[in-house]
A and B are shown apart, each in its own frame.
Chain A
């Protein structure tokens, strides 16, 4: 090629030939030996060693000149299609990955919820509470107080039965939750003296309102074990439930020593149950997209826990 170009002199005779009606041999003497052929666009077509060969080459080129241009547009189309495919594949992959991640996150949340529920059960089944309750019942038997022993044993059995049943459920009716709480309170009362009251707004349909299972127990237990047990007399616990708008507000209030004093006295595991339930409510919030709220308020005397749960509609 280099060779041909150097010999194609003079430059003025490098002709642009696009028409086969012109005969090269008419223009160039037959002893001209070197031809370099270009098309209109200036693309190199080929080299020839005689006018005849150049003409033939030209003809050949003109018979199938379009093939090359078609080739080019096909190439572009192919590239476009390939790019489009690539984009499609990548986006499908991304969507797929996102969904897998979403699924994973959902499963993780479910798993964590299960764990927290199990922890709630375990805290309800607090061995210290269980064995001391049984010990109290034993005392009633020892004192020949058969009737009382009978009732407390029934409460005890009822509580354990509910814990076992509810452990399979994420939510229970408010009525069940309240009954369980009351059985728990009666057993705690057997262990030491305190008064409790429960006020439930009559507007609340306790049988059809669902709450996370074992929602109240950790707070009631905290109120008793940390708030009231560290006090010597006039120990009171109050549970109230009010309905407002489409929410239910639960308050658990004690007149115990308060959180600060309790922390100093026991130095241990204080507030763990609260942390767990608050995490559980957070997960339920994410899962159901509904509003749960938990707040602990220090009172001049004692502590109040407020829980707001959404009413299903």
Chain B
């Protein structure tokens, strides 16, 4: 079965390049059309009802995220294609959506298409992109996408109590007492969550400040959290943690 797709990019070379790479490296993807703006993309999507949209983010007039907002609910999968935009890439990673960077490494393209086509063939609903759109529309209560095994859980950031890193994996401790194991490093989570009052207290601990219930002076500093867990503060981070806690109590 072929995957029906369209390409959205304001630059002609961008569209041509991707189409060429897809022909060569992803023959299972069928490109039904190309759009150079969000408005044109909306029409193409209505016409072709694609399984997959390759979406450039930075475009004059309206950016790629606007397409998701315009459509409200996306039935199709999206692979974002972007040259550079820190903010956008962060938002995409936050929802665990797929993206590739320009200039395109064809290995990345093949990988992304493989992940997406798996979901297309299983007729799984496209949760990631809809969650991304939701986060963009409601930035005050974002949900983060946590891939666990073959599925993905979307968890409200405020319900994460703390994260504990263990090699390439991270344990996520939730308010409802559950614990998730995610195949991402603690550094990844630190990057994604540092806008939401999370602080690294130790090389293997990331803590949600809203869930700190006490500061204990034992063992050179320990934080007690709302679920009763105790988390160490390393010597080198002690000053920074105290500083943040001070501003919090004020």
Contacts and interface: CB of A to CB of B under 8 A. Distances in A.
Interface SS majority for chain B: loop
B13 A135 contact: yes
Interface in A178-211: 190-192
A131 B13 CA distance: 12
Given A128-B84, A191-B11, A192-B12, A266 B102 contact: no
Q: Taking chain A's interface residues, is the majority helix, strand, or loop, or is none over half, making it mixed?
A: helix
B84 A131 contact: yes
B60 A229 contact: yes
A191 B83 contact: no
Contact of B17 (A128, A130, A139): A139
A36 interface: no
A135 B60 contact: no
A137 interface: yes
Given A132-B14, A135-B13, A142 B21 contact: yes
A300 interface: no
A127 B13 contact: no
Interface residues of B, number: 20
Interface in A125-163: 127-128, 130-132, 134-140, 142-143
Given A143-B16, A230-B60, A265-B61, A192 B103 contact: no
Interface string B153-192: 0000000000000000000000000000000000000000
Q: Chain A interface: which size bin?
A: 20 to 34
A229 B61 CA distance: 9
A139 B61 contact: no
A225 interface: yes
Interface string A264-279: 0110000000000000
B118 to A, nearest CB: 26
B60 A138 contact: no
A288 to B, nearest CB: 37
Contact of A135 (B10, B61, B83): B83
Given A138-B103, A192-B12, A265-B61, A143 B84 contact: no
Given A128-B85, A139-B20, A225-B60, A134 B12 contact: no
Interface of B: 10-14, 16-17, 20-21, 24, 58, 60-61, 83-85, 101-104
Closest 5 CB pairs of A and B: A139-B17, A131-B83, A127-B84, A136-B13, A135-B102
16 contacts: A131-B83, A131-B102, A132-B11, A135-B14, A135-B103, A136-B14, A137-B103, A138-B103, A139-B20, A140-B13, A142-B21, A190-B13, A225-B60, A230-B60, A230-B61, A265-B60
